[in-house]
Amino acid sequence: MQIYDLIQKTRRLVPLSETEIYTLVEGFTKGEIPDYMMSAWLMAVCCQGLTAEETSALTMAMRDSGECLDLSTLGVPTVDKHSTGGIGDKTTLLVAPIVAACGGHVPKMSGRGLGFTGGTVDKLESIPGFCVDLPQADFMRITEEIGCCIISQSGELTPADKKIYALRNLTATVDSIPLICASIMSKKLALGASCVLLDVKYGHGAFMKTPEEAVLLADLMVSVGHQAGRECRALITDMNAPLGSCVGNALEIAEVIRILRGEERGRITELSLALSAQMLVLLGKGDVVECRKMAEEALTSGRALEKFAAMIAAQGGNAAVTEDLSLLPQAEVQLTVRAPESGFIREIQSEEVGLACLGLGAGRTADRAKIDPGAGVVLSRFVGDEVTKGDPLFTVHGSSEALCENAAQRLLQAYSYSEEYTEPPQMIYKIVE
């Protein structure tokens, strides 16, 4: 089979067979197909797309490129949750302990951040001692005993995805719906959870810029999940403004703890409760109204905080951070920036916020593998808030005054104002079942 012919077929909208797709994925994973040929095929996919059948075959080929976990040995239903990424998105760190406190089991493998979107693993590693690289036996044991465990993606799972994603990132082929679907769902299916909830985002800080694009992606992923025999649904959610008040690894962990302690509540809390309710529904705990009440009670009672602390301790971290936030990494410089004019905040461009934090060292670039866990930004005002010139707008956390000044200038450009009140965007656009 000539790879040249497969590239030609995709470019000319001739569907590939399942065998052809498996050959392509297997050959590239083993190093038998060179990068330049795989790059050409990925660009053909990006320009011409794939059929639903091809996307499903690509997903399964990537899933089967490595080990698949068998979570059925736990003897209980399990639920996985995946977000397509966003600025300040820390919902995994909230829903996992909330669902666990309701009797659910959440085995979660998460990734590191690349670019301006933060990775859940990076955030957890800002907790002193927290270990994200656990043997499979420990991962299963902690999930069974506590109800939630979050580790980094195993190199044994979906090695094809890791290799293909690295190439996509270098060849401007990341924002392809079939490729995004195959990347996400191959990992979800390899993990082996019996149910999967997807949080598919749209807006400035997301791969999908419109809700319509997000629905297309969600429909495809849910369909692939069902074909693989998984209970699967998706929420389409807004990413036109940062999620929560903090962006940056240790800063977001601190925000999660304050929410679990009941000290803060906002849009990120409401979204996390909605996601938790849907996860509990998938686990058969009741209807959405009943499950929302269960999630709310788990949060307000403090039981979710107890689960979070127990997970931290079980994974080698210092659980005392849930009582003393000063144990988390702190930035050397903090710069508070004030509103340059009066009015209502009409918009906060989330992508610009992410890029500003990237410049502070809170994110990872291709030439910078190390991140600054204490860097980031804390927002004081949000979309819809009325501000008077001189009011605190945000505080930049960084390792030097120069970095903070540069980030502050970029962040100021992310804000726009109006003379009249602007309704904050609707958090949940649609549920795809």
User: Which amino acids are annotated catalytic?
Assistant: 82, 161, 168, 183, 187
DSSP lists the bridge partners of residue 345 as 417
CA dist., res. 267 & res. 237, Å (int):
11
Length of the chain: 433
Structure tokens given for 394: 């945000």
The token duo for 70 is 């068998």
User: What is d(CA 133, CA 101) in angstroms, rounded to the nearest whole number?
Assistant: 24
Q: What are phi and psi of 44, to 5 degrees?
A: -60, -40
Q: Which residues, 6+ apart, have CB-to-CB distance to 286 below 8 Å?
A: 280, 294
Residue spans of beta strands (DSSP E) within 67-223: 79-83, 106-110, 148-152, 195-202
> Which residue, among 238, 205, 235, has the nearest Cα to 218 in the 3D structure?
235
CA distance 382 to 348: 8
372: phi then psi, degrees, rounded to nearest 5? -95, 110
* CA of residue 405 relative to chain centroid, distance: 28
Q: How many C-beta atoms lie closer than 10 Å to residue 319's C-beta?
A: 19
Rounded Cα gap, residues 196 and 385, in angstroms: 35
Closest CA to 251 of 374, 359, 96: 374
